């Protein structure tokens, strides 16, 4: 041990993270794996039941599959428009002649700093069935009202809209950073070589932006799989009358802290983890495919 | 003007026989698009404000009220009278400030150590740290709750402060920054002047790290202030509610007094907007820098 003495200082300096992680990170992860193979209500005795939590989840729990389907649907409905809009915003923000750039960036970023609870309460007032703003406008236009929070598809649209509103500016600013890091000489050289603007976009901008697009896709995937607060505030524990807003984490929360099924909920947590990992991997493969456009 | 036109064309990706006209049309399009986007970003805030200034009866009326009313003070008073707003505000402030202070201290110190010192197993330790970032928070949620029970931290604010007091992301962030702004010569000079390792961090590095600390501080503060799932799990008594828990619970309970819920939401949101407006330039610049490094 004496040989480690000169290294004491750096070890001490990095130790808070590792100590905290042992207690509040690593141990919980291992313990949740242990719990996933047990039946436990949090009070009585833990009972080892092997893989039964997982087999129940997969073969005998329609609500689980509903929550998986909902999570993926909301992820898709929010990520695609959000990243596309962010790309457009980033291009516009990058326009050389644009004035008030700082102001625009701050305004576009503002939704992202606002708490999801506040956002969900505000958007809840947009989507009310009787007195909501949107249904009011629909009614004024002579269109039928929509039962936003109880319709299995529209509740997803409502949640997705909140996610899009919150994250478009964030992603736009990340893209903007990417756009600004592309050296100007590349475009100048391409112009001299007679490349059109479309060609320049396809063979300079897009390929160089690819790592950043990949980064935002993965980030959106991880965030999308963990959606909780939006549906919780908007629809309550249940995910709405038709369970259209019941996401995986909302379901996990219900099973753990409403139904006191800690073992079962731990199994859900592991499925969530595996889904996030697998899905991030697929995204990575998909987006990095055909590296040279 | 000519240079401007070229820029416009380049940025819009348009080409035309009459560049001057295209430039005009292009900039009109850009401003329209940006304006609409800004409107979409701001409208929910405006709507929140309008609702906070209305009576609840106003909200259940058609056509909807689109201009602010005169009930703001009435609604704010109702919030302050009723439901422990100050207490929740104070709880959120304590949690966010202490949490942020601890994160800044531990992360900058560890980031400095990773950037500027050599020690056995440095690489695997750092790799391990990066790996921990891949794990979703929900995976350990139930055991974390059980640990809090065992520690007797249920309904204690420290349950919201301590577990995340040193984040892997924060250490990664600070290491990258330290690496790029603090040269080894400076560290060596400090050593020659008699600084010990901790002095090097505290006296030499920390002042230089201010911009990175500011960005990490804002990110951490916002995350802590806005968190909902974890407080919901470990806090159940009203006196210990954070602001987010309070407005969420009001939203469920006071559905008949909607304007009061809106006023409370407004009061929970305005401080964030003020803080952000003060620091937005630095914050956004920091984020942009972080996203393209490497």
Please answer yes or no on whether B140 and A253 come within 8 Å at the CB atom.
no
pLDDT band at B292 (very low <50, low <70, confident <90, very high): low
Q: How close does chain B come to A85, measured CA to CA in Å?
A: 9
Q: How high is the pLDDT of residue B246?
A: 94
pLDDT at A285 over 70: yes
Q: Give every CB contact of residue A97 below 8 A, 6+ residues apart in sequence.
A: B4, B7, B8, B11, B27, B30
pLDDT at B16 over 60: no
Q: How high is the pLDDT of residue B14?
A: 47
Q: How high is the pLDDT of residue B3?
A: 46
Taking each helix axis from N to C end, the angle separating B85-116 and B168-181, rounded to the nearest 10 degrees, works out to 50
Would you state the structure tokens that stand for residue A125, as one six-digit string? 């007032």
Would you state the structure tokens that stand for residue A69, as one six-digit string? 């389907």
Chain B residue whose CA is closest to A249: B138
Q: How high is the pLDDT of residue A5?
A: 76
Instruction: Tell me the percentage of chain B whose pLDDT exceeds 70.
Output: 89
Phi, psi of A47 (to 5 degrees): -120, 125
Q: How high is the pLDDT of residue A160?
A: 96
Residue window 80-139, chain A: list those with CB within 8 Å of chain B: 85, 88-89, 91-98, 102, 104-111, 113-119, 121-126, 130-131, 133, 136, 139
Q: Which CATH number does B72-290 carry?
A: 1.10.3720.10
pLDDT at B288 over 90: no
Suggest the residue from B137, B139, B236, B259 to mutate for an interface test with chain A (most A CBs closer than 10 A). B139
Chain A residues with CB-CB distance to B233 below 8 A = 253, 257
Would you state the structure tokens that stand for residue B220, as one six-digit string? 């951490």
Q: A249 or B257, which is more confident?
A: A249
pLDDT at B294 over 50: no
SS3 B264: helix
User: What's chain A's average pLDDT?
Assistant: 90
Q: Where are the alpha helices (DSSP H) in B60-118?
A: 72-82, 85-116
Please answer yes or no on whether B289 and A252 come within 8 Å at the CB atom.
no
pLDDT tens by residue, B34-46: 999 999 999 999 9
What is d(CA B36, CA B187) in angstroms, rounded to the nearest whole number?
51
Q: B23 or A195, which is more confident?
A: A195
pLDDT at B280 over 70: yes
Ranges of each domain in chain B: 2-52, 72-290
3 state SS for A213-269: HHHHHHHHHHHHHCCCHHHHHHHCCCCCCCCCCCCHHHHHHHHHHHCCCHHHHHHHH
pLDDT at B6 over 80: no
User: What mean pLDDT do residues A203-226 have?
Assistant: 90
pLDDT tens by residue, A148-169: 988 999 999 999 999 999 999 9
> Interface pTM (ipTM) of the complex?
0.89
Q: How high is the pLDDT of residue B59?
A: 74
Q: How high is the pLDDT of residue B62?
A: 66
pLDDT band at A130 (very low <50, low <70, confident <90, very high): confident
User: What mean pLDDT do residues B194-210 have?
Assistant: 91
Please answer yes or no on whether B291 and A108 come within 8 Å at the CB atom.
no
Residue window 101-160, chain B: list those with CB within 8 Å of chain A: 106-107, 109-110, 112-114, 117, 119-120, 122, 125, 129, 132, 134-147
Spatial contact of B229 and A257, defined as CB atoms under 8 Å apart: no
- Residue of A95, A108, A122 with shortest CB distance to B48: A122
Phi, psi of A48 (to 5 degrees): -70, 125
Q: How high is the pLDDT of residue A274?
A: 94
For chain A, which domains are there?
60-287 (1.10.3720.10)
pLDDT band at B122 (very low <50, low <70, confident <90, very high): very high
User: What mean pLDDT do residues B30-35 have?
Assistant: 91
Residue window 203-262, chain A: list those with CB within 8 Å of chain B: 212, 215, 222, 225-226, 228-229, 232-233, 236, 249, 252-253, 256-257, 262
What is d(CA B12, CA B175) in angstroms, rounded to the nearest whole number?
38
Q: How high is the pLDDT of residue B70?
A: 85
pTM: 0.89
pLDDT band at B175 (very low <50, low <70, confident <90, very high): very high
pLDDT tens by residue, B69-89: 888 999 999 889 877 899 999
Q: Are strands A47-48 and A38-39 parallel, antiparallel or unpaired?
A: antiparallel
User: What mean pLDDT do residues A74-79 have?
Assistant: 96
User: What's chain B's average pLDDT?
Assistant: 87
Considering only A67-76, A132-141, A194-203, B7-16, which range has the smallest mean pLDDT? B7-16
Highest mean pLDDT among A137-146, A161-170, A272-281: A161-170
Please answer yes or no on whether B11 and A31 come within 8 Å at the CB atom.
no
User: What mean pLDDT do residues A57-72 have?
Assistant: 95
Q: How high is the pLDDT of residue A150?
A: 87
Q: How high is the pLDDT of residue B179?
A: 92
User: What mean pLDDT do residues B260-273 have?
Assistant: 92
pLDDT at B247 over 90: yes
Residue of B290, B264, B272 whose CA lies nearest to B80? B264
């Amino acid at each position: 041990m004496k040989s480690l003495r000169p290294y004491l200082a750096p070890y001490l300096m990095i130790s808070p993270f590792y100590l905290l992680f042992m207690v509040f990170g690593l141990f919980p992860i291992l313990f949740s794996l242990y719990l996933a193979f047990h039946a436990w209500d949090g009070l009585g005795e833990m009972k080892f039941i092997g893989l039964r939590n997982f087999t129940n989840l997969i073969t005998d729990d329609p609500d689980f599959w509903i929550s998986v389907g909902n999570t993926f649907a909301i992820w898709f409905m929010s990520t695609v428009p959000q990243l596309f809009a962010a790309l457009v915003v980033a291009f516009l923000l990058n326009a050389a002649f644009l004035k008030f750039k700082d102001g625009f960036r701050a305004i576009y970023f503002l939704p992202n700093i606002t708490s999801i609870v506040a956002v969900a309460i505000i958007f809840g007032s947009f989507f009310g069935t009787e007195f909501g703003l949107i249904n009011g406008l629909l009614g004024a236009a002579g269109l039928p009202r929509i039962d936003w929070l109880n319709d299995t598809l529209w509740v997803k649209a409502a949640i997705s809209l909140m996610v899009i509103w919150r994250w478009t500016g964030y992603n736009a600013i990340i893209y903007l950073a990417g756009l600004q890091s592309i050296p100007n000489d590349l475009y100048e050289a391409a112009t001299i070589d007679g490349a059109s603007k479309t060609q320049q976009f396809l063979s300079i901008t897009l390929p160089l932006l690819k790592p950043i697009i990949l980064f935002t896709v993965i980030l959106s995937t991880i965030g999308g799989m963990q959606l909780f607060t939006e549906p919780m505030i908007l629809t309550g524990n249940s995910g709405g009358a038709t369970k259209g807003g019941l996401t995986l984490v909302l379901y996990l929360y219900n099973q753990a802290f409403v139904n006191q099924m800690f073992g079962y909920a731990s199994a859900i947590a592991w499925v969530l983890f595996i889904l996030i990992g697998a899905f991030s991997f697929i995204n990575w493969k998909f987006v990095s495919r055909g590296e040279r456009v | 003007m000519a240079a401007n036109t070229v820029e416009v064309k380049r940025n819009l990706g348009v080409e035309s026989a009459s560049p001057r006209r295209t430039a005009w049309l292009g900039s009109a399009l850009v401003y329209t698009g940006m304006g609409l986007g800004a409107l979409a970003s701001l409208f929910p805030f405006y709507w929140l404000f309008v609702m906070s200034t209305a009576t609840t009866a106003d909200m259940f009326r058609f056509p909807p009220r689109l201009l602010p009313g005169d009930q703001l003070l009435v609604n704010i008073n109702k919030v302050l009278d009723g439901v422990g707003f100050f207490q929740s505000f104070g709880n959120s402030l304590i949690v966010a400030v202490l949490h942020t202070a601890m994160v800044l201290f531990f992360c900058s110190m560890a980031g400095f150590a990773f950037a500027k010192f050599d020690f056995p197993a440095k690489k695997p330790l750092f790799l391990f740290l990066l790996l921990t970032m891949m794990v979703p928070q929900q995976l350990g949620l139930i055991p974390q709750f059980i640990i809090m029970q065992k520690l007797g931290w249920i309904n204690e604010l420290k349950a919201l402060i301590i577990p995340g007091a040193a984040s892997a992301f924060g250490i990664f962030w600070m290491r990258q920054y330290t690496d790029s702004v603090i040269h080894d010569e400076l560290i060596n000079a400090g050593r020659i002047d008699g600084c010990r390792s901790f002095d090097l961090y505290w006296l030499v590095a920390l002042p230089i790290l201010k911009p990175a600390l500011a960005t990490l501080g804002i990110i951490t503060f916002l995350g802590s202030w806005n968190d909902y799932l974890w407080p919901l799990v470990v806090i159940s008594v009203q006196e210990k509610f954070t602001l987010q828990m309070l407005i969420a619970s009001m939203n469920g309970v006071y559905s008949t007094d909607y304007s009061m819920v809106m006023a409370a939401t407004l009061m929970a949101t305005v401080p964030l907007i003020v803080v952000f407006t003060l620091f937005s330039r630095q914050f956004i610049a920091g984020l942009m820098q972080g996203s393209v490094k490497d």
